[in-house]
Amino acid sequence: MNKLILEIRAGAGGDEAAIFAGDLARMYQKYAAKRGWAFQVLDSNETSLNGYKTLIAGIRGENCYENLKLESGVHRVQRIPATERSGRVHTSTASVAVLPEVEPKAVQVNEGDLEVTFSRGGGPGGQNVNKVETAVRILHKPTGIVVASRAERSQFANRERAMSVLRAKLYEAQMEAEMKKTGASRKEQIGSADRSEKIRTYNFPDDRITDHRVNAKVHNIEKILDGNLDILLEKIAKNSDGK
């Protein structure tokens, strides 16, 4: 699958969690660049110190979903935050969701279930962004899911991108409902996109990343955060095959 929606949300840990969410966002963006994939930020809620409360991005490129689908879950960081003066190590979290971008026919969306609002973009795109209400926010009333896009220069294009995010979220919800019906245990399925499951710890004092699902451990955190994610993904795949 060559199209996906990436969603990163800061979890427990205040400002440091948002900074960590920003670190993860840049890691995936740099990894996408190394793989030759397109990475487009659709919507974000930025904080100080290059952090994000939330970031939604679209990634397009060969086998991008297959490569990144195991990233879904809670990521935990242990380090001395930039905001910490006493030198204590803090633990913070951020959640990552990697959703396949599905075709419109795969998910039925009733237009009457949507509440669509427009606003000024405020993002990249020059003067036009700030003068015209191009940013789109969509509420799916039956589920309460809210999606938005302000990356494109036209209202129509942003609506299309927001609808892609909505379909991906609705598709994920459908898959979860079907798995519950069949009694399938998500915990038995690595890469099941269970956002409540802690999948990985980034331990800065020990310069070690541990993926808890297959007990894969690698060092050189800074190199991996700089987009060299294959070092970790290959170790996870190797350990997963050996289980």
What domains, with CATH codes, occur in the chain? Answer: 3-103+186-241 (3.30.70.1660), 106-182 (3.30.160.20)
Q: How far is CA 107 from CA 50, 101, 175, in A?
A: 35, 11, 11
Task: Report the mean per-residue pLDDT for the chain.
Answer: 87
The rounded distance, in Å, linking the Cα atoms of 13 and 22 is 13
Residue 15 near residue 81, CB atoms below 8 Å = yes
* pLDDT tens per residue, range 68-107: 999 999 999 999 987 778 889 999 999 999 999 988 888 9
- pLDDT band at 191, cuts 50/70/90? very low
67 contacts: CB under 8 Å, gap ≥ 6: 35, 233
CA-based end-to-end distance of the chain: 25
DSSP-derived secondary structure letter, 2:
-
pLDDT value of residue 49: 83
CA 67 to chain centre: 14
Rounded Cα distance between 10 and 17, Å, is 5
Q: Which residue from 129, 163, 171 is spatially nearest to 146, judged by alpha carbons?
A: 163
pLDDT band at 176 (very low <50, low <70, confident <90, very high): confident
Residues 6+ apart with CB under 8 A from 18: 10, 47, 49, 51, 52, 53
Does the pLDDT of residue 9 top 80, yes or no? yes
CA separation, residue 220 to residues 32, 34, 206, 225, 231 (Å)? 19, 18, 10, 9, 10
3-state secondary structure of 148: strand
The model carries a pTM of: 0.84
Q: What percent of the chain has pLDDT over 90?
A: 65
Mean pLDDT of 109-136: 73
Where is pLDDT greater, at 175 or 204? 204
Q: What is the pLDDT of residue 184?
A: 56
Q: What does the pLDDT average to over 146-165?
A: 91
Distance CA 142, CA 99 (A): 20
| Residues whose CB falls within 8 Å of the CB of residue 145, separated by 6 or more in sequence, listed in order | 139, 166, 169, 170
